[in-house]
C-alpha cells in the first residue's frame, strides 16, 4: 500500500512513521509512506499556505491554490475532473483523496477495513481554521474521528493510518492478530494476562492455564460479551441486530443479567 500525506508540517510524521509497527511495515516493503510539504507548491517569499477568510471571522483558512497545484502532481485525474475536463479518466493508480473534518463520516473499525483494501491513500491535512471549501470537491473520503477539535489534520491522519496499516496482511507479527482485537467482531476484546500468575494476591484466571483450548475459547467469548455489555451496550445491540450472537451468547447474557438483577436486589 502507498500512503501519502500533504501538509504544512510533514515532519510531524517522523516519530510515528519511523518507529514500531509503521517502521517494520516499511522495511518489509508492505507500506510505502511519503509526507509531502505543501509549502513546496507555493511561490511567494513567505511560502504562504493560508489567508484571511472571506466574510471575516477568527483564524486563517488554508488556500486552495497550493493544494490544487500539489494535486496536479499527486492526483492529476481528480484535478481534471474538478476543472470539468470531460475527457478525463481516472487512472487505476490514482490515490483516494482523504480530508479530515467534523462533517465527515465517523471513523470506525469497519471504515479502517475499507481503506485497508485500497492501493493508495492521500491525506490532505488542514490546519488553522480550516480548508477552502473547494478542496472538498475533489475528496473521495471526508472523515471525522469524533465530536472534538484537534490542532491539525496531521494528528487525525496518524490515527487513521495506524488503524488502517495494522489491517494489512503481514504487518502484525501474530498471524491473524487483528482479527481478535476489539471491534473486529463487533465486540470488545476479552481480558489479556501474562506472567506472573499471581500478583499481590490477584491471580490469572485458572482456565487460561488449563490447556483446555475449548474452555479458553468459551471463557474469552463470555468475557468479551460481558465487557461489551458493561462498557459498550450499543455495540452489543448492533451485534444482536446483525444476528451475530449465537444461542449460547444470548443464554450467557441472560444469565449475566439475572445475576446483576439479583445483586441489585
Contacts of 138 (CB under 8 A, 6+ apart): 68, 71, 75, 78, 79, 81, 82, 97
Q: Where are the alpha helices (DSSP H) in the chain?
A: 14-17, 20-27, 64-74, 76-82, 109-116, 153-165, 213-231, 233-242, 247-264
Supply 47's cell numbers: 511560502
pLDDT confidence bin for 175, thresholds 50/70/90: low
| pLDDT value at residue 240 | 95
pLDDT above 60: residue 177: no
Angle at 21 between CA 15 and CA 25, to 5 degrees: 105
Supply 247's cell numbers: 444461542
DSSP 246: -
Give the pLDDT confidence of 64-109 residue by residue, as tens digits. 999 999 999 999 999 999 999 977 788 889 999 999 999 999 999 9
- pTM listed for this prediction: 0.90
Answer whether 124's CB lies under 8 Å from 97's CB.
yes
**Higher model confidence: residue 264 or residue 17?**
17
Give the pLDDT confidence of 9-54 residue by residue, as tens digits. 999 999 999 999 999 999 999 999 999 999 999 999 999 999 999 9
Q: Over the Cα atoms of the chain, what is R_g?
A: 23
pLDDT above 90: residue 265: no
DSSP 142: E
Cis status of the peptide bond prior to 244, with omega within 30 of 0: no
* Domains in the chain: ranges and CATH: 2-165 (3.40.1280.10), 182-264 (1.10.1270.20)
Query: Residue for cell digits 465487557?
Result: 227
| pLDDT value at residue 178 | 62
Amino acid at each position: 500500500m502507498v500512503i501519502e500525506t500533504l501538509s504544512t508540517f510533514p515532519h510531524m510524521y517522523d516519530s510515528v512513521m519511523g518507529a514500531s509497527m509503521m517502521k517494520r511495515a516499511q522495511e518489509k516493503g508492505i507500506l510505502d509512506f511519503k509526507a509531502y510539504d505543501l509549502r513546496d507548491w507555493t511561490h511567494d517569499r513567505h511560502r504562504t499556505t493560508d489567508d484571511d477568510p472571506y466574510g471575516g471571522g477568527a483564524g486563517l483558512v488554508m488556500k486552495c491554490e497550493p493544494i490544487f497545484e500539489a494535486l496536479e502532481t499527486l492526483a492529476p485525474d481528480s484535478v481534471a475532473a474538478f476543472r470539468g475536463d470531460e475527457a478525463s479518466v481516472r487512472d487505476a493508480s490514482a490515490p483516494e483523496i482523504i480530508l479530515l473534518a467534523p462533517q465527515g463520516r465517523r471513523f470506525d473499525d469497519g471504515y479502517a477495513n475499507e481503506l485497508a483494501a485500497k492501493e493508495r491513500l492521500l491525506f490532505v491535512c488542514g490546519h488553522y481554521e480550516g480548508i477552502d471549501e473547494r478542496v472538498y470537491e475533489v475528496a473521495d473520503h471526508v472523515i471525522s474521528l469524533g465530536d472534538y477539535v484537534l490542532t491539525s489534520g496531521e494528528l487525525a491522519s496518524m490515527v487513521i493510518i495506524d488503524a488502517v496499516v495494522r489491517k494489512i496482511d503481514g504487518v502484525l507479527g501474530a498471524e491473524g492478530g487483528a482479527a481478535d482485537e476489539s471491534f473486529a467482531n463487533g465486540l470488545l476484546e476479552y481480558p489479556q494476562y501474562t506472567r506472573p500468575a499471581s500478583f499481590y494476591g490477584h491471580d490469572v484466571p485458572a482456565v487460561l492455564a488449563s490447556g483446555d483450548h475449548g474452555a479458553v475459547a468459551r471463557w474469552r467469548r463470555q468475557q468479551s460479551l460481558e465487557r461489551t455489555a458493561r462498557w459498550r451496550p450499543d455495540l452489543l445491540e448492533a451485534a444482536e441486530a446483525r444476528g451475530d450472537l449465537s444461542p449460547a451468547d444470548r443464554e450467557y447474557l441472560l444469565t449475566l443479567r439475572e445475576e446483576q438483577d439479583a445483586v441489585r436486589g
